[in-house]
Amino acid sequence: MGGKKKDRQIRTCLIVNARSKDDTFNLEEALPILTAQGWEVEVREKHEKGDAARLARTAVKDGFDPIVNCGGDGTLNEIVDALAGSDVAVGTIPGGTENVWSKQIGISQRSRVAAMQLMVSERVRVDLGKVEIDGKHTHHFLMMAGLGADGTVMQHTSRGLKNRIGPLAVGVAAAEALPALQTVPVQINMDGVRWDGAVSEIVVGNTRDYGGFTEITRNAYVDDGLLDLCIFTTDGVLSTVRQLTSLVIHRQPSEASSECYRAARITVQADSPLPLQLDGSVLDLDKDGPISYAFSAVPHGLNVLVPKTYDGAIFEHGIVPVLQGKKKKRKKKGKKG
């Protein structure tokens, strides 16, 4: 698995989100599967925001590889940020509210099946997204970053409500926030090309699936060295409702109030901070006045574990497993995504 030699015992650390109330995750189902194959497994719990990053760094120092996310996408984001640029692989046994990443690469939502997939997965190098705020505060993301409306929605999404009704909690928060959503003037620079205008939301995508119900950056690839950008220019409740309808029914943005681009580096400048979320996790910004967000692609910035059954739809060049320092290409199955 993932380039490990057969005669070397695999030592893996499972990072479990103790705050999650997801009923589909069952540690008692996953552990026996892994240990029966001779894996050395240690479980470490996340109790508050930031714990997963700290636990991941410590696990690497302790010699664990892979580090397995057993929480949701927010916990995954912490682990990704901690391991960016390293050779340690990130695996997933879904344990969160929506689990967008795991669904996107074909990981089962059943703990037992996901653990079996993990054992025979392939170690693949993927790109990361990176954002620098005012040139100094750096954070990484695997899937997407959102500035504006969706950051506002995620800020108002109650954890208690998420635990009770799951993904519907985001819809409730969106409905509550809708009347107050406004456009703000920004200046965007995409690889030297300038865009000026008023926006309600900006989504920077490294992958396609967004929130588990639509594809905002539906042509994105996780290995092309580029980021996909969708600029929403919805103005008012009616325009916003029409755009949301397109996202839900057609699973893509309506061109009537959106523009999509692709670039390696994207800079967004605004007169005041915009709510920012990375992979569904809100980033708290303690700042007033003008602000700059610099997004950039980090080619081959992370090792991830991908099920062998995955068709490779979000890989432009097919699955390229990392095997003992070498790469062997595995072509996509079916049609090009």
The residue with greater pLDDT, 234 or 191, is 191
Omega cis (within 30) before 66: yes
The pLDDT value recorded for residue 211 is 80
Q: Higher-confidence residue: 95 or 64?
A: 64
Which of 77, 99, 120 is at the close of a domain?
120
Query: Does residue 196 form part of some domain?
Result: yes
pLDDT of 168: 46
pLDDT of residue 238: 85
Residues above pLDDT 90, as percent of the chain:
66
In contact, 128 and 142? CB cutoff 8 Å: yes
Determine, yes or no, domain membership for 337: no
Candidates 138, 141, 165, 117; CA nearest to 2 is 117
> Could you report the per-residue pLDDT of 208-229, keeping only the tens digit for each?
998 878 899 999 999 999 999 9
CA 215, 76, 109, 159 torsion-angle sign: negative
CA–CA separation, 310 vs 184, rounded Å?
40
Any idea what the CATH number is for the domain that residue 273 is in? 2.60.200.40
Query: Does one domain contain both 98 and 159?
Result: no
* Spatial separation of the C-alpha atoms in residues 55 and 53, rounded to whole Å: 5
Residue 172: its pLDDT value, please? 46
User: Which of 28-37, 103-112, 157-166 is predicted with the least confidence, judged by mean pLDDT?
Assistant: 157-166
Q: Is residue 248's pLDDT more than 60?
A: yes
Q: Which of 162-171, 230-239, 247-256, 327-336 has the lowest mean pLDDT?
A: 162-171
Is residue 310 a part of any domain in this protein? Answer: no
pLDDT of residue 337 exceeding 80: no
Per the DSSP assignment, residues forming a β-bridge with 304 are 90, 124
Number of domains, the chain: 2
Distance between CA atoms of 317 and 332, rounded to whole angstroms?
8
At 328 the pLDDT is: 57
Residues 81 and 207 in one domain: no
The reply to whether 93 falls in a domain is yes
The mean pLDDT value of the chain amounts to 86
Q: Are residues 230 and 141 in the same domain?
A: yes
Residue 17's CATH number: 3.40.50.10330
Quickly state the pLDDT bin for 245 (edges 50, 70, 90).
Answer: confident
154 & 289 share domain: yes
Averaged pLDDT for residues 224-236: 94
According to the model, what pLDDT value does residue 21 have? 61
Q: Which two tokens stand for residue 186?
A: 């920004």
214 or 114: which carries more pLDDT confidence? Answer: 114
The average pLDDT across 154-171 equals 49
CB atoms within 10 A of CB 183: 18
Domain interval for residue 209: 129-297
Model pLDDT for residues 286-325, shown as the tens digit of each residue: 888 999 999 999 999 999 999 999 999 999 988 989 864 4
Q: Looking up tokens 């919805």, which residue turns up?
A: 234
CA angle 314, 315, 320 (to 5 degrees): 145
C-beta atoms surrounding 192 within 10 Å: 7
Average pLDDT over residues 237-241: 82
Amino acid at 79: I
Q: Which residue has the tokens 């819809």?
A: 171
Closest CA to 141 of 155, 151, 152: 151
User: At residue 156, does pLDDT exceed 90?
Assistant: no
Distance of alpha carbon 185 from alpha carbon 202, whole angstroms: 12
Rg of the Cα atoms in the chain: 20
- pLDDT class of 326 with cuts at 50, 70, 90: low
Is 334 among the domain residues? no
Q: In this structure, which amino acid lies at residue 55?
A: L
Consecutive H or E run containing 173: helix 168-177
Determine contact, residues 292/134, Cβ cutoff 8 Å: yes
198 and 145 part of one domain: yes
Per-residue b or e along 253-271, where b marks 16 or more CB atoms closer than 10 Å to that residue's CB:
bbeebbebbbbeebbbebe
151-165, 194-208, 276-290: which has the minimum mean pLDDT? 151-165
pLDDT of res. 96: 83
Contact 200, 149 (CB under 8 A): yes
| pLDDT tens, residue by residue, 30-85 | 999 999 999 999 999 999 999 999 999 999 999 999 999 999 999 999 999 999 99
